């Protein structure tokens, strides 16, 4: 323990050193210091609090996430609140609920719960600061390496990343935990020791306590070397994303959720894999596993044109139809109930999307307000007379190029047991009067919210 005398500038970490390293976005209006009560986050909170006047007019605020996983969680929240009061930094205590299921990592769930909670409170121009340091970065790279991660995973933790409406910043990545401990002891800080940090059942703790000390005994400079590797991998990831963006421009279909297969197949397998990974990630869908990605390359892209292969994973799926590859959210299950009564003045919720009647501009509908039409999902074998010919609904859907996976969800509208309307496709003859003053729309979406342009 230091005797709190002498020159703080002799420390390898100080509030002034942090100020010089703190590269905040120019739009920053408020800093949220994520404060667990442990030594690392306490050092960050204390150092930032010393800079209050120099950071003005930026507002400072702390946030403590109450996981409820430890019997001392309430005491920790009280401790954090009191420390923030002493430092004159407002503190929000947010409770989160974590439900662990089979084969789920409690560490990952707790981390995701923290980030989700912070997302909800930060606004435009806000930056959330977390206290991960160089040793955390080295541990993360080793964990990712042992999980078989690629360049993106081995990039470990970026110093700045978007988070909700604001930003997430890790300003301590260039400092070791020894640097932070020296600061904490010099300023005689009092912090929480979480007993779970000693539990080597958790992968990170096992590395921290059982593996890394052995490695450091042989390679003293292991931490800065691994951090340098992470930086190299981050640069590699940027180059791969730039290449994927170029390939996406060449291979994009009519919609962002489509890739043109003949163009895609001109690329090397490595570039196909890189593009598909980028395409799915930019579509805001969960990333498939390496095995699932290989199934997309082998079983979907390389399939014959008359095949309709699909690869599904939790949250997303990739399908092929004609000359295009499609990425989408998981389709819902087809219900056992096949027919629905539709009061036309109301929107009808369907297994996929909604059915609605829209009056044409400047006209009043001639349909009685209490009119009820029957809606059935397509089963097969239906026919409809269109343009003087009795035609199979199947042929009409094919002509409209409705993808095969959507056809079982296609609603068909009946009036007095007669098929009268195929939303978005056709109106049966002798029933055009039903749509003289309005149109019926089947509105659905399985399109991912894509960020690519």
Please state, in angstroms and rounded to a whole number, the distance separating the CA atoms of residues 143 and 60: 33
Identify the structural domains of the chain with CATH numbers, from first to last. Answer: 8-228 (3.40.50.620), 254-328 (1.20.59.20), 339-443 (no CATH)
Instruction: Give alpha helix (H) positions in 13-121.
Output: 15-21, 39-50, 52-55, 73-86, 106-121
pLDDT at 450: 54
Where is pLDDT greater, at 259 or 357? 259
Length of the chain: 453
Query: Phi first, then psi: what are they for 266, rounded to 5°?
Result: -75, -20
Please state, in angstroms and rounded to a whole number, the distance separating the CA atoms of residues 411 and 231: 53
Please state, in angstroms and rounded to a whole number, the distance separating the CA atoms of residues 61 and 129: 10
Predicted confidence band of residue 6 (pLDDT cuts 50, 70, 90):
very low
Residues 105-121 have a mean pLDDT of: 86
End-to-end CA distance of the chain: 56
Cis omega (within 30 of 0) for bond into 151: no
Q: Indicate the pTM of the whole model.
A: 0.78
pLDDT tens per residue, range 143-155: 999 999 999 999 9
Please state, in angstroms and rounded to a whole number, the distance separating the CA atoms of residues 337 and 332: 14
Please state, in angstroms and rounded to a whole number, the distance separating the CA atoms of residues 137 and 134: 5
Residues 6+ apart with CB under 8 A from 311: 288, 292, 295, 296, 299, 300, 317, 318
pLDDT tens per residue, range 346-401: 899 999 989 988 776 655 555 666 778 899 998 888 998 888 888 899 999 999 88
Share of the chain above pLDDT 70, in %: 92
Please state, in angstroms and rounded to a whole number, the distance separating the CA atoms of residues 217 and 230: 21
Q: Which of 351, 354, 368, 363 is nearest to 438 (CA)?
A: 363
Predicted confidence band of residue 337 (pLDDT cuts 50, 70, 90):
confident
């Amino acid at each position: 323990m230091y005797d709190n005398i002498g020159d703080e500038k002799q420390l390898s970490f100080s509030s002034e050193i942090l100020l010089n390293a703190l590269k905040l976005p120019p739009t920053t209006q408020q800093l949220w210091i994520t404060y667990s009560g442990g030594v690392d986050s306490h050092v960050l909170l204390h150092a930032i609090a010393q800079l209050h006047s120099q950071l003005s007019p930026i507002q400072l605020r702390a946030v403590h996430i109450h996981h409820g996983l430890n019997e001392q969680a309430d005491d920790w929240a009280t401790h954090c609140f009191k420390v923030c009061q002493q430092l004159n930094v407002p503190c929000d205590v947010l409770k989160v609920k974590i439900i662990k299921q089979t084969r789920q990592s409690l560490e990952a769930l707790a981390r995701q719960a923290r980030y989700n909670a912070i997302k909800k409170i930060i606004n435009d121009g806000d930056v959330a600061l977390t206290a991960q340091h160089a040793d955390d970065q080295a541990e993360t790279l080793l964990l990712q390496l042992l999980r078989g991660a690629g360049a993106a995973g081995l990039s470990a933790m970026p110093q700045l990343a978007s988070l909700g409406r604001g930003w997430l910043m890790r300003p301590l990545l260039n400092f070791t935990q020894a640097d932070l401990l020296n600061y904490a002891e010099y300023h005689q800080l009092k912090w929480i020791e979480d007993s779970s940090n000693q539990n080597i059942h958790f992968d990170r703790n096992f590395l921290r306590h059982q593996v890394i000390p052995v490695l450091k005994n042989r390679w003293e400079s292991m931490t800065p070397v691994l951090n340098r590797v992470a930086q190299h991998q981050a640069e590699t990831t940027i180059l791969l994303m730039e290449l994927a963006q170029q390939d996406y421009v060449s291979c994009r279909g009519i919609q962002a959720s489509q890739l043109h297969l003949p163009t895609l197949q001109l690329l090397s397998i490595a570039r196909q894999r890189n593009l598909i990974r980028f395409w799915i990630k930019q579509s805001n869908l969960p990333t498939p596993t390496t095995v699932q990605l290989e199934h997309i390359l082998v079983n979907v892209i390389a399939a014959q044109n008359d095949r309709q292969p699909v690869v599904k994973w939790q949250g997303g799926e990739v399908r092929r139809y004609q000359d295009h590859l499609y990425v989408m959210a998981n389709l819902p299950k087809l219900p056992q109930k096949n027919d629905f009564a539709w009061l036309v003045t109301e929107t009808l919720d369907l297994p996929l999307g909604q059915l609605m009647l829209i009056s044409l501009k400047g006209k009043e509908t001639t349909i009685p307000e209490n009119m009820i039409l029957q809606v059935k999902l397509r089963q097969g074998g239906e026919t409809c007379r269109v343009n003087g010919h009795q035609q199979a609904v199947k042929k009409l859907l094919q002509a409209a190029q409705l993808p095969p996976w959507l056809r079982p969800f296609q609603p068909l509208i009946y009036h007095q047991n007669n098929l009268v309307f195929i939303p978005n496709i056709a109106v049966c003859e002798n029933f055009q009067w039903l749509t003289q003053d309005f149109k019926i729309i089947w509105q659905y979406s399985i399109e991912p919210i894509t960020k690519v342009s």
